Amino acid sequence: MFGLQPTHLIIILVVALLLFGPSKLPEIGKAMGKTIREFQTGIKEATQGFSDEVKTDAAKTPAPSACKSCGKPLAAADAKFCAECGAAQT
Ligand SMILES: [Zn+2]
């Protein structure tokens, strides 16, 4: 499965132990945890940015025409007069 097995993790741990010494291991673990957290935060931000873009696009969609005088929605987008107040829509 994906070439990574528990034995590999143990080998990596032993190599890290030999390279950095036991005193450095907590630091390495902390740094790895930080990297993973930052990675997850980045994904979250990217996802939020995407949904924000979608929302902005939705806001750009033209709203149904409203009367320039009273603000009531018009029966048609190209209506010449408002059905509510009779104001001319130019
Ligand atoms: Zn009106």
Residue 75 CA to its chain's centroid (Å): 37
H/E stretch holding 54? helix 25-60
What is the pLDDT averaged over residues 20-40?
A: 85
Instruction: Quote the ligand 1 centre to 1 CA distance (angstroms).
Output: 68
Model confidence at 5: pLDDT above 90: no
What is the pLDDT averaged over residues 57-83?
A: 80
Instruction: Quote the ligand 1 centre to 58 CA distance (angstroms).
Output: 26
Instruction: Quote the ligand 1 centre to 11 CA distance (angstroms).
Output: 77
Which pLDDT score is estimated for 41? 92
Instruction: Quote the ligand 1 centre to 89 CA distance (angstroms).
Output: 9
What is the pLDDT averaged over residues 45-50?
A: 84
Q: Which of the residue ranges 6-15, 23-32, 47-56 would you say has the lowest mean pLDDT?
A: 47-56
Q: Which of the residue ranges 21-25, 44-48, 80-84 would you say has the lowest mean pLDDT?
A: 21-25
